[in-house]
Amino acid sequence: MTLSFNAKVGQARLGRGLRWKLLTPLAAALLLAGCATALPPAVQNAGVPVPAAFSTPQDQASWTTAAPAEAQARGAWWLAFADAEMTQLVERAADANTDVQTAAARLAEARALLRSADAQRMPQVGVGGGVARQAGANTSNGLQPATLVTAGLNLSYEVDLFGRLSQASQAAQLDADARAALLQSTRLMVQSDVAQTYLQLRALQTEQQLVQQSLSAYCDTLRLIQRRFDAGDAAELEVVRMQSEVSATESEALGLERQQATLSNALAVLVGEVATGFVLPAAQGDVRLPVIPAGVPGTVLARRPDVSAAQASVLAAQARVGVAQAAWFPAITLTGNGGFASPDLGDLFKWSARSWGLGALLSLPLFDGGQREAQEEGAKARLEAAVAAQRGQVLGAFREVEDQLSSLRLLQGQATVLGQAVQSAERATHLSDVRYRNGLVSQLELLDARRNELRNRRQALQVRTAQYTATIALIRALGGSWDSAPVAAG
């Protein structure tokens, strides 16, 4: 089917009406642009009510709030534990950990996309040239083939009347801000993982020393009972019972070695090294347990980089809704070119062969099958998802702080009670050993006393390790260091 339009028929009658019809879409677009309203501002903290204070015991000071400070330096919070080996491992992981390297690469990518978005708002300049062989009515030789050589400079610039390019650049900037915050969050996560893994490994080493001490005591008792059995002063049941205790304790020691190997391999990966051959030097002393002072946890929303990243993601999604809405308005591009055109290569750069042109292009899609509407709905849906994710991040931040505050308070009570239990168990073991050597009690009573002592000492060590873990988890929940507050030894 061939469609034709005779431009001469009715030209006088349709000329003015046709011009108005052609200008109607542009006038409507300009009217819509004038009536367009700005997007509502993003709700701070995703609408989550911020409590004035966290749940704390009545005898402690109330917690305070602080202004946003996501860009504030976190500080070397791990120095508060006063362990040189842990400090070295944390600093090694800052550069060599693969998760940190991945987050840094994604930040670099986001910043490159920002530069690309900003470049769209600048004039686009390029050079071009070409050689064409053509024939027809438009050539100087009529139907004879002719060669046209061109060389020139091209310039184009899109007028951002409706903010499409500026909002796209703003969204890219917010994406880069979110990536920067996520890099900070990844570093904090890696630092805390290294510290927790290191302290757990040290705790296992100490626990193994306790088991080895018990094993040595059991072996000494076994030799004593064996001599008494050989002399006919002890029953075989006592020998077999002690042999069973020695074997069970050896099994516990091997289990602790297995756990140490697993944690050592995990620590090697965290610091970016091969697990094979990775050896942790022996501990030089006890690790100090820092006490986080009151008045800090209210800064969680201002200090946590993941919360800041969620906020930036919401703002970026909001800006992209504006980009999708701006697609309904016309795009105006100014163009210009200048150069030379000549049928002879030798005359190409002569002044008489110069040529230039200026133009303005207007683009306004009238029917796209619902594509722009679908893109706007998709942008709004992504904004809703970002707001929900931010709300979940904020709620999770409060939960994590409350969890660790409760854990530290209860663990402190456990540590006090278990300290008393260890002292009593040590005294009971000593008295039972004296009475057993004097023949006043049976071997079973001595074994029970030693088991109780070992169990209490190991429980006390596990609670101490849990205090370290909860302290680091609270530091992570707070978003890093607690500023310049004094650190007291626990």
Burial of 480 (0-12, 13-18, 19+ CB in 10 A): buried
- Taken as a whole, the chain contains a residue count of 490
Residue boundaries of the structural domains of the chain: 45-121+162-329+371-489, 124-159+330-363
Q: Are the beta carbons of 414 and 470 closer than 8 angstroms?
A: no
For 6, 103, 391, the CA distances from 175, given in Å and listed in that order, are 53, 13, 18
Read off the tokens for 63: 């917690």
Q: How far apart are CA 58 and CA 120, in angstroms?
A: 59
Residue 47 Ramachandran class (φ > 0 left, ψ -120 to 50 alpha, else beta): left
Residue the block writes with tokens 């690790």: 287
Residue 340, classed as helix, strand or coil, is: strand
Q: Are the beta carbons of 396 and 338 closer than 8 angstroms?
A: no
The sign of the dihedral angle between the CA atoms of 264, 265, 270, 276 is positive
What is the pLDDT, as a whole number, of residue 241?
87
- Determine the distance from the C-alpha atom of residue 66 to the mean position of all C-alpha atoms in its chain, rounded to a whole number: 22
Q: Are the beta carbons of 483 and 296 closer than 8 angstroms?
A: yes
Q: At the fourth CATH level, which superfamily is domain 45-121+162-329+371-489?
A: Outer membrane efflux proteins (OEP) (1.20.1600.10)
Burial of 132 (0-12, 13-18, 19+ CB in 10 A): exposed
What is the pLDDT, as a whole number, of residue 18?
38
Q: Do domains 45-121+162-329+371-489 and 124-159+330-363 have the same CATH topology?
A: no
pLDDT along the chain (490 residues), means of 10: 32 38 44 45 54 46 41 69 88 87 85 78 74 60 65 71 75 81 85 91 89 85 85 84 89 92 92 86 77 58 74 83 79 68 63 68 76 84 87 83 85 90 90 85 80 87 90 84 43
DSSP assignment letter at 442: -
Q: Where are the beta strands (DSSP E) in 236-326?
A: 290-291
Classified by CATH at the fold level, domain 124-159+330-363 comes out as Outer membrane efflux proteins (OEP) (2.20.200)
Quote the longest CA-to-CA distance of the chain.
135
